[in-house]
Structure 1
Amino acid sequence: MPPNTTASSGHKPGKSGRKKGRKARLLVLVLVMAIIGGIVYGAYWSVSTVRASLPQTTGSITLDGLSGPVDVKRDSYGIPQIYASSDADLFMAQGYVQAQDRFYEMDVRRHMTAGRLSEMFGKGQVKNDEFLRTLGWDRVAQKEYDTKLSASTKKYLQAYAKGVNAYLQGKDGKDISLEYAALGFRNDYKPQKWTPVDSVAWLKAMAWDLRGNMKDEIDRALMTSRLGPQQIADLYPEYPYSRNQPIVTEGEYDEYTKTFDGGDSSSSTSTSGTTGSTSSSSGSALTSQLAGLSNVLDDLPTAVGVNGQGIGSNSWVVAGKNTITGKPLLANDPHLEASLPSVWYQMGLHCRAISSTCQYDVSGYTFAGMPGVVIGHNQNIAWGMTNSGVDVTDLYLEKLSGDGYLVDGTTKPFTTRTETIKVAGGASKKIVVRETDNGPLLSDRNDELVNVGKKATVDAAAPDRGDGYGIALRWTAEDAGTTMDAVFAIDKASDWSEFRSASAKFDVPSQNLVYADTKNHIGYTLPGRIPIRGKGDGSLPVPGWDSKYDWTGYIPQAALPYEYDPKRGYIVTANQAVIDKDKYPYTLTTDWGYGTRSQRITDLIQSKIDGGGKISTDDMRQMQLDDSSEIAKLLVPKLLKIDEPDADVREAQKLLEGWDYTQDADSAAAAYFNSVWRNILKLAFGNKLPKELRVEGQCLFVSPVDTTGPADEDNKKVRECGERDADEAQPDGGDRWFEVVRKLMDDPTNAWWKTPASGNRPGASNMNQLFKRAMIDARWELTAKLGKDIDTWSWGRLHRLFLKNQTLGTDGPAIVQYILNRGPWKLSGGEATVNATGWNAAGGYEVVWVPSMRMVVNLDDFDKSKWINLTGASGHAFSAHYTDQTSKWVDGELLPWSFSSKAVDGSTSDTLVLKP
Structure 2
Amino acid sequence: MPAKKRSRRNRVVVITLVLLVLGGLVGGAFWTVGTVRDSFPQTTGSVKIDGLSGTVEVKRDARGIPQIYAADAEDLFMAQGFVHAQDRFWEMDVRRHTTAGRLSELFGESQVRTDAFLRTLGWRHVAEEEYETELSEETRRNLQAYAEGVNAYLAQHGGSALSVEYAALGLVNKDYEPEPWTPVDSVAWLKAMAWDLRGNLKQEIDRALMSSRLDEEQIEDLYPEYPFDRNRPIVGEGAVDPVTGEFEPDAEPGTDTGDGTVPGGLPGGVRTQLGGLAESLDALPTLLGPNGSGIGSNSWVVSGTYTTSGEPMLANDPHLAPQLPSVWAQMGLHCTTVNQECPYDVSGFTFSGMPGVVIGHNQDIAWGMTNLGADVTDLYLEKIEDGAALHDGEMVPYETRTEVIEVAGGEDREITVRSTRNGPIVSDRDPQLGDVGGSAPVAGPAPDRGDGYAVSLRWTALTPSKTMDSVFALNRAGDFESFRAAAADFAAPSQNLVYADTEGNIGYQAPGLIPVRGKGDGRYPAPGWDADYAWDGYVEHSALPYEYNPERGYIVTANQAVIEGDEYPHLLTEDWSYGTRSQRIDDLIQSKIKDGGKISMDDMEKMQLDDSSEIAKLLVPHLLKIDIQDPYVREAQQLLEGWDYTQGADSAPAAYFNGVWRNLLVLAFGSKLPKELRVEGECLSVRPADDSGPLEDLDGTARTVRECGERSPATAQPDGGDRWFEVVRRLLDDPDNAWWSAPADGLESPVAEGRDEVLARAMKDARWELTTKLGKNIDTWSWGRLHSLLLRNQTLGTEGPDLVQRLLNRGPYELAGGKDAVNANGWNAAGGYSVTWVPSMRMVVSLADFDKSRWINLTGASGHAYHPNYVDQTELWARGELLPWAHSREAVEDAAQDTMALTP
Kindly indicate whether the alpha-carbon contact (under 8 Å) linking 2:77 and 2:355 is maintained by their aligned counterparts in 1.
yes
| Whole-angstrom CA distance in 2 between matches of 1:468 and 1:757 | 35
Q: Which residue of 1 aligns with 2:61?
A: 75
Kindly indicate whether the alpha-carbon contact (under 8 Å) linking 1:305 and 1:311 is maintained by their aligned counterparts in 2.
yes
Pair 1:678 & 2:662 matched: yes
Give the AA of the match of 2:505.
H
| Whole-angstrom CA distance in 1 between matches of 2:595 and 2:663 | 39
Q: Which residue of 2 aligns with 1:892?
A: 880
Give the AA of the match of 2:450.
G
| Whole-angstrom CA distance in 2 between matches of 1:146 and 1:358 | 24
| Whole-angstrom CA distance in 2 between matches of 1:49 and 1:358 | 40
Give the AA of the match of 1:783.
T
Q: Alignment partner for residue 330 of structure 1, among 314, 317, 322?
A: 314
Q: Which residue of 2 aligns with 1:169?
A: 155
Give the AA of the match of 2:836.
V
Indicate how the Cα distance of structure 1 residues 173 and 456 shifts in structure 2: closer, same or farther if over 3 A, else same: farther
Q: Alignment partner for residue 364 of structure 1, among 348, 371, 374?
A: 348
Q: Alignment partner for residue 572 of structure 2, among 569, 585, 588?
A: 588
Q: Which residue of 1 aligns with 2:867?
A: 879
Kindly indicate whether the alpha-carbon contact (under 8 Å) linking 2:609 and 2:822 is maintained by their aligned counterparts in 1.
yes
Kindly indicate whether the alpha-carbon contact (under 8 Å) linking 1:690 and 1:728 is maintained by their aligned counterparts in 2.
no
| Whole-angstrom CA distance in 2 between matches of 1:605 and 1:34 | 53
| Whole-angstrom CA distance in 2 between matches of 1:42 and 1:833 | 50
Indicate how the Cα distance of structure 1 residues 458 and 330 shifts in structure 2: closer, same or farther if over 3 A, else same: closer
Kindly indicate whether the alpha-carbon contact (under 8 Å) linking 1:69 and 1:913 is maintained by their aligned counterparts in 2.
yes
Indicate how the Cα distance of structure 1 residues 179 and 256 shifts in structure 2: closer, same or farther if over 3 A, else same: same
Larger Rg: 1
Indicate how the Cα distance of structure 1 residues 139 and 450 shifts in structure 2: closer, same or farther if over 3 A, else same: farther
Indicate how the Cα distance of structure 1 residues 856 and 467 shifts in structure 2: closer, same or farther if over 3 A, else same: same
Pair 1:789 & 2:777 matched: yes
| Whole-angstrom CA distance in 2 between matches of 1:217 and 1:37 | 47
| Whole-angstrom CA distance in 1 between matches of 2:216 and 2:422 | 27
Q: Alignment partner for residue 235 of structure 1, among 198, 202, 222?
A: 222
Q: Which residue of 1 aligns with 2:41?
A: 55
Indicate how the Cα distance of structure 1 residues 884 and 262 shifts in structure 2: closer, same or farther if over 3 A, else same: same
| Whole-angstrom CA distance in 2 between matches of 1:283 and 1:531 | 22
Cα distance, 1:864 vs structure 2: 0.1
| Whole-angstrom CA distance in 2 between matches of 1:541 and 1:758 | 32
Indicate how the Cα distance of structure 1 residues 115 and 356 shifts in structure 2: closer, same or farther if over 3 A, else same: same
Kindly indicate whether the alpha-carbon contact (under 8 Å) linking 1:756 and 1:763 is maintained by their aligned counterparts in 2.
yes
Kindly indicate whether the alpha-carbon contact (under 8 Å) linking 1:287 and 1:456 is maintained by their aligned counterparts in 2.
no
Cα distance, 1:460 vs structure 2: 7.2
Q: Which residue of 1 aligns with 2:891?
A: 903
SS in structure 2 of the partner of residue 291 of structure 1: helix
Cα distance, 1:408 vs structure 2: 1.1
| Whole-angstrom CA distance in 2 between matches of 1:723 and 1:349 | 49
> Where do residues 754-903 of structure 1 align in structure 2 (5 Å cutoff)?
754-756=741-743, 763-903=751-891
SS in structure 1 of the partner of residue 764 of structure 2: helix
Q: Which residue of 2 aligns with 1:19?
A: none
| Whole-angstrom CA distance in 2 between matches of 1:33 and 1:576 | 50
Unaligned 5+ segments in structure 2 are 1-17, 252-260, 689-708
Give the AA of the match of 1:641.
K
Q: Which residue of 2 aligns with 1:216?
A: 203
For normalisation by structure 1, the TM-score amounts to 0.91
Q: Alignment partner for residue 685 of structure 2, among 703, 707, 714?
A: 703
| Whole-angstrom CA distance in 2 between matches of 1:437 and 1:896 | 51
| Whole-angstrom CA distance in 2 between matches of 1:652 and 1:242 | 35
Cα distance, 1:185 vs structure 2: 1.2
SS in structure 2 of the partner of residue 141 of structure 1: helix
Q: Which residue of 2 aligns with 1:6?
A: none
Cα distance, 1:725 vs structure 2: 6.5
Cα distance, 1:814 vs structure 2: 1.6
Pair 1:507 & 2:491 matched: yes
Give the AA of the match of 1:605.
I
| Whole-angstrom CA distance in 2 between matches of 1:698 and 1:78 | 38
| Whole-angstrom CA distance in 2 between matches of 1:852 and 1:661 | 24
| Whole-angstrom CA distance in 1 between matches of 2:868 and 2:332 | 20
SS in structure 2 of the partner of residue 449 of structure 1: coil
Q: Alignment partner for residue 507 of structure 2, among 523, 536, 550?
A: 523
Q: Which residue of 1 aligns with 2:482?
A: 498
Pair 1:750 & 2:751 matched: no
Indicate how the Cα distance of structure 1 residues 35 and 906 shifts in structure 2: closer, same or farther if over 3 A, else same: closer
Kindly indicate whether the alpha-carbon contact (under 8 Å) linking 2:263 and 2:443 is maintained by their aligned counterparts in 1.
no
Any idea what the Cα deviations from partners look like across 1:831-856, whole Å, max 9, x if unmatched?
A: 00000000000100000000000000
Q: Which residue of 2 aligns with 1:157?
A: 143
| Whole-angstrom CA distance in 1 between matches of 2:25 and 2:579 | 54
SS in structure 1 of the partner of residue 835 of structure 2: coil
Pair 1:92 & 2:55 matched: no
| Whole-angstrom CA distance in 2 between matches of 1:723 and 1:160 | 47
Indicate how the Cα distance of structure 1 residues 812 and 818 shifts in structure 2: closer, same or farther if over 3 A, else same: same
After superposition, the CA RMSD in angstroms is 2.2
Indicate how the Cα distance of structure 1 residues 36 and 676 shifts in structure 2: closer, same or farther if over 3 A, else same: closer
Q: Which residue of 1 aligns with 2:244?
A: 257
SS in structure 2 of the partner of residue 788 of structure 1: coil
| Whole-angstrom CA distance in 1 between matches of 2:87 and 2:20 | 34
Indicate how the Cα distance of structure 1 residues 724 and 324 shifts in structure 2: closer, same or farther if over 3 A, else same: closer
Give the AA of the match of 1:857.
V
Give the AA of the match of 2:787.
H
| Whole-angstrom CA distance in 1 between matches of 2:545 and 2:444 | 38
Kindly indicate whether the alpha-carbon contact (under 8 Å) linking 2:686 and 2:710 is maintained by their aligned counterparts in 1.
no
Indicate how the Cα distance of structure 1 residues 239 and 425 shifts in structure 2: closer, same or farther if over 3 A, else same: same
Any idea what the Cα deviations from partners look like across 1:613-668, whole Å, max 9, x if unmatched?
A: 10011100000000000000000011111111111111100100000000000000
Kindly indicate whether the alpha-carbon contact (under 8 Å) linking 1:46 and 1:178 is maintained by their aligned counterparts in 2.
no
Q: Which residue of 2 aligns with 1:204?
A: 191
Kindly indicate whether the alpha-carbon contact (under 8 Å) linking 1:68 and 1:85 is maintained by their aligned counterparts in 2.
yes
Pair 1:532 & 2:532 matched: no
Q: Which residue of 2 aligns with 1:479?
A: 463
Cα distance, 1:163 vs structure 2: 0.1
Kindly indicate whether the alpha-carbon contact (under 8 Å) linking 2:72 and 2:342 is maintained by their aligned counterparts in 1.
yes
Give the AA of the match of 2:801.
P
Q: Which residue of 2 aligns with 1:244?
A: 231
Indicate how the Cα distance of structure 1 residues 342 and 33 shifts in structure 2: closer, same or farther if over 3 A, else same: closer
Give the AA of the match of 1:56.
Q
Give the AA of the match of 2:793.
N
Indicate how the Cα distance of structure 1 residues 674 and 424 shifts in structure 2: closer, same or farther if over 3 A, else same: same
Q: Alignment partner for residue 433 of structure 1, among 397, 417, 421?
A: 417
Q: Which residue of 1 aligns with 2:695?
A: none
Pair 1:295 & 2:274 matched: no
SS in structure 1 of the partner of residue 410 of structure 2: coil
SS in structure 2 of the partner of residue 242 of structure 1: coil
Q: Which residue of 2 aligns with 1:268?
A: none
| Whole-angstrom CA distance in 2 between matches of 1:783 and 1:759 | 26
Q: Which residue of 2 aligns with 1:470?
A: 454
Kindly indicate whether the alpha-carbon contact (under 8 Å) linking 2:718 and 2:830 is maintained by their aligned counterparts in 1.
yes
The percentage of aligned residue pairs carrying the same residue is 66
Kindly indicate whether the alpha-carbon contact (under 8 Å) linking 1:68 and 1:915 is maintained by their aligned counterparts in 2.
yes
Q: Which residue of 1 aligns with 2:692?
A: none
592-601 vs 456-465, which deviates more? 456-465
Cα distance, 1:449 vs structure 2: 3.0
Q: Which residue of 1 aligns with 2:334?
A: 350
| Whole-angstrom CA distance in 2 between matches of 1:589 and 1:89 | 42
Q: Which residue of 1 aligns with 2:181?
A: 194
Give the AA of the match of 1:406.
L
Give the AA of the match of 1:808.
L
Pair 1:113 & 2:95 matched: no
Give the AA of the match of 1:163.
G
| Whole-angstrom CA distance in 1 between matches of 2:21 and 2:474 | 57
Q: Which residue of 1 aligns with 2:700?
A: none
Kindly indicate whether the alpha-carbon contact (under 8 Å) linking 1:104 and 1:177 is maintained by their aligned counterparts in 2.
yes
Counting matched residue pairs gives: 854
Indicate how the Cα distance of structure 1 residues 697 and 459 shifts in structure 2: closer, same or farther if over 3 A, else same: same
Indicate how the Cα distance of structure 1 residues 203 and 778 shifts in structure 2: closer, same or farther if over 3 A, else same: same
Give the AA of the match of 2:572.
L
| Whole-angstrom CA distance in 1 between matches of 2:32 and 2:130 | 41
Q: Which residue of 1 aligns with 2:597?
A: 613
Indicate how the Cα distance of structure 1 residues 684 and 869 shifts in structure 2: closer, same or farther if over 3 A, else same: same
Unaligned 5+ segments in structure 1 are 1-31, 265-279, 707-721
